[in-house]
Amino acid sequence: MGIFDKIKEKLSNEFIDIIEWLDYTDDTICYRFERYQNEIKNEAKLIVREGQTAVFVNEGQIADVFTPGTYTLNTQNLPILTTLKGWKYGFNSPFKAEVYFVNTTLFTDEKWGTKNPITLSDERFGLVEIRAFGTYAFKVNDAGKFLKEIVGTDNNFTNYEINEHLKSLIATRFADTVGEANLPIELYAANTTELSDTCKEVMQPDFNSVGISLEKFFIENVSMPEELKKEIFEYSRIDKLDLDKLTKFKTAKAIEAAAKNEGGTAGAGMGMGMGFVLAQQMGGLMNPQQTTPQTGGAVPPPVPPSIQYYYAVDGQQIGPVNFDQLKSLFAGRKVNKETLVWKQGMANWSPLKEVEELKVFLGGNTPPPLPPQ
């Protein structure tokens, strides 16, 4: 064997015979197979394991893509690269190409959350803020597109790098979805499953556009400020209770608490006394008893009909409500002195402050002067 034959044999042995990637990490998504001058021998072995896809890149252009299996590299199984290289009659010499291995396994339990509160408009509570967080799972479903759109020339692309992009995408699409859902604010936390499915459907096209499939998406919690929670709970209780009875009950509790705060035995006694009196009055209201001639009592005259009022909120007519209910709404700041009201007999809607019997809501009323003797 001549000296030149020995040199050729030595160079031939230095070319890559086996191309494979053994991943010893749990966060690498894409790895570029490194070798000197990117030279690959004709008839070299390519080993692609389950959960991997191999992508050949020629001078920055994606060529052939290989799914799991073992391949002998020649012109028969490198059709795109053969066309790019212009191998009309095959090749014997080494060729140059970059080989990227893409991890196509499922990446699970990835965290997402809203960095800033999302502002929503609720019909009853006005502008409110919510936060949310949860988990998602994804995998690469188009290795060529993923390499082209996301990885570029990165030789070791990790899960952390793609997660920053995906979390920003999720937060944006989540805000759009909950804004368009237009649910009552208290129902967001109660419908996380349905909301999760809707968000996944909305986000899927954005994931697919970069070669990624959003496999799972979960909303674990939707939170809101504590003061808003208390207001929602209070509203739900009021909505289920008789406003007149609730007002009397709260008045009794407030008077009793005020009496206790005066301190001493006298204050405690007054509080208990007022509590008993109001309890008896409320008992009579909640359990009215009628006397009849058979029991020796007088029959009271018929109760005059209660005046019914209508009021307007955001251009919508609401009602009817009686005087005490309207008073409770005023006390709870659901209506104010400028709110338009109407009752039977009025020609037009008028602000609450201009309706004579409702002026008592505004406070500061003084009786008229006594008539002369």
Residue 64: pLDDT band by 50, 70, 90 thresholds? confident
CA distances from 363 to 75, 317, 330, 366, 370 (A): 94, 26, 12, 9, 21
User: Lowest-pLDDT range, 108-117, 162-171, 299-308, 364-373?
Assistant: 364-373
Share of the chain above pLDDT 90, in %: 23
Which residues lie across from 138 on neighbouring strands? 107, 214
- The CA distance from 142 to 208, in Å, is 8
- The CA distance from 276 to 52, in Å, is 79
pLDDT value of position 281 = 52
pLDDT one-digit tens code per residue, 97-139: 889 999 999 999 899 998 888 888 877 777 888 889 999 999 9
Query: Which pTM value belongs to this model?
Result: 0.55
- The CA distance from 154 to 29, in Å, is 11
Q: Is the pLDDT of residue 345 over 50?
A: yes
Interval 293-304 mean pLDDT:
61
CATH architecture of the domain formed by 107-142+156-225:
2-Layer Sandwich (3.30)
Q: Is the pLDDT of residue 278 over 50?
A: no
CA distances from 103 to 25, 92, 244 (A): 11, 31, 66
For the record, the structure tokens of 76 come out as 């028969």
pLDDT one-digit tens code per residue, 143-162: 999 998 888 878 888 888 88
pLDDT value of position 259 = 72
Residue 83: pLDDT band by 50, 70, 90 thresholds? confident
Burial 196-214 (b: 16+ CB within 10 A, else e): bebbbebbbeebeebbbeb
pLDDT one-digit tens code per residue, 19-60: 899 988 888 999 998 876 667 887 888 899 999 999 988 877
